[in-house]
Chain A
Amino acid sequence: MSAATPDALDRFGESLAERASPIVVKEVRQGLRTRAFWIFFTLMLIACLVIALVAFAASAGNDAGAGAFGAIFTVLAVVQFFVIPYSAYRSMAREQEDETWVLLTLTGLGPRRVIRGKIGSFVLQGVLYASAAAPFLLFSYYLNGIDLPTIVVGLIFAAAYQVFLVSVAVSFATLAHSKMMRGLLQFAVLALLLGATGMGKGVGAWLMELFRLGTFDDELIFGCCAAVFAMLSTAVLLFEAAASGLSLTTESYARGPRLAYLAQLFGGTVFFIVGWKVMTSTGFLVGGAVIAAVYSTLVGTYVISDRDGLAANLRAERSSVFSPGAYRGYLLVAISALFVGAVFLALATTDSDMRHRDLRMIAAAPGFALLYLSLPQLLARWLPHAASQTPAMVRVVSLGLLVLGVGLPPLVGILVAEPDDKMLNLLNPLVGLINISKSGPSSDEALAVVWAAALISGLAAYVSLKRRDR
């Protein structure tokens, strides 16, 4: 009977491994064999034990739980927000360095399953660390001074933040194609994770303190939900973009990132609308419209930058805005940006508290988005060199145009007139938008000019992209 239990456990383990993703099984096998895992695991346990003993000794007559929980949370933050995401980055980068990546893709697993497996396995390692620290977290509860809901809030925040950071790290690693890029990324990821660890620890502690003090009002809960949504949806978007970047042109690589883009855009819109309704503040509609426009321009350009046309096998199937190709991507982002802008404008007109100047700003934002979405597509395709038409170059042109659009008119303004000269800054996505929101009849004219420019460039981009879509 005594031997039956280990056998049953073995069988359970085997059946679990049989069902799990091969990548998860591999990463767990490899992860548990690394020295880094055992060193950090042991250090974490020792640190938790010391914190618990010190807190217990200091607990006589005091509520030492909050302090103990904060200290254990800090230890966990180092592991969860730095060690694990960095290990995930290294694991993915090593697949590229050792050229094992191609072998994985040939198995038929595909980039999405491989990256999902990588993220999943490191989140699982995080769960392993967290479960080892769980008795100490529970112990801090018994030391009084902290309640269970606060602990739960802290852990939910930590889990969402860790998934986000692991996704960021793994997605970054997929960009490491060359030695130089790998070197640059290594430093970038290290710096990013160090900053993110400090920030995560600080924000986590702040949230738990607010919760503990009972100052956790509806607005804060709403803000937390929005932050968790932003983190998780960004994680999904990065994951999809990374998988897409590693796919072959013959695969339907554009669907994932475009769907994730739409989900984040519409999900974010819903959050702003809920915020406007619940907190009855018109600022949510103005902010929502502007952020949606900025998001469409920056993230949209990144998501839709694609080669012209699509592979022969995909051409045979019925294409949609989710099929590869710059033309379809442009249609999707332009239409969705205009649609979201229209939703905000329609809601704003129903709000009696909405000022006219804010209404103008809401109306102008999608115009600027359309303008700065269309111009890089046009410009990249008008340039004579074939290299300018690559997705990477379109992104560079887009960023360059934005920087020029924001920075050049004020610079010229300093030389010839005022830095915020209305004429000079008419198409400036920052100063121009602010100028439009200012009172005066010229603002309405400026709004009309922005929309005219947006529609002309939009139409030209549409025609140009459609013509090249073979």
Chain B
Amino acid sequence: MRNSVLKALLAMAAAGLFAGPPTARAQDAANLPASGPAAATVPVQLPPEHSWRLGVALGYGSRTNPLIQSDDIPVLVDVDIAWFGKRWFFDNGDLGFTAIDNRFLTANLMARVNSDRAFFSKTNTKYVTFARAGGGETPPAFGGTGGPLTEPVPLKPPRRDYAIEAGVEVLFGGEWGNATLRGFHDVSDKHDGYEVSADYEYRWTRGRWSLSPTVGVTYKDSKLSDYYWGVHASEASNVLFEFHPDGGLGWQAGLHTNYYMTKNLRLALSANYERLQHDIAQSPLVEQEYVFGYFAGFGWQF
């Protein structure tokens, strides 16, 4: 499965091989001759863009944490730091190299940090007398003598490490919206698994408003799911049962709105719902089968 998916992504990327560098596409578009009614075919002359994209948003938001004994993740400041060169680029922690760019697609070789790890930074220890089973069940816990626990024992989600992942990302875009296909594999010897995702976004712009609904699906294999969301044999206890999730499909949907007040300042409203894959939701480490995030604030683009 892993190899076939990555092969498919690479094959799609190879479809546009020998295409010019990223800047060539804009020039090509600008030089296209008009072949029909002028209003319908005149290409849009886009001004040159800065290599750097710097922005900051201040406001209030939160992202729920699906883990047991965990706190939601507050979002008060959102920083946007990106740099785009001819082929290399850095985009908020993602490092990329553009291998193919043509009128049909842009294919990037990518390196990134896995985002599942972020939830494990906001966990607490609690003392409990019940056990955590899969699917959110909490039956009474039993001690070594076979009787129910009378003295509370500590329960804390186990520690997990950040994983560095490498992969391929293929971007499609046009009047119909933007679509992204991604395939990533662990290269840091942490979970040795992979993740494949597909996302679609459409943006409406009317006057100063823009509205962007997004939808996406993500497949995480059993190794990745087990590393982050499983309870390993060494971590199992009287209150935390051993659990090994299988791979599966999750989905997400979001809505992002901007009201552009000036060329640099905008009001930003955003909400995102992510449904965890079924097996991950059954983990004793998981309390909520979803992640909901929202943010409202003012963004400044430098």
A, B bound = no
Query: Residues of A at under 8 Å CB distance from B?
Result: none
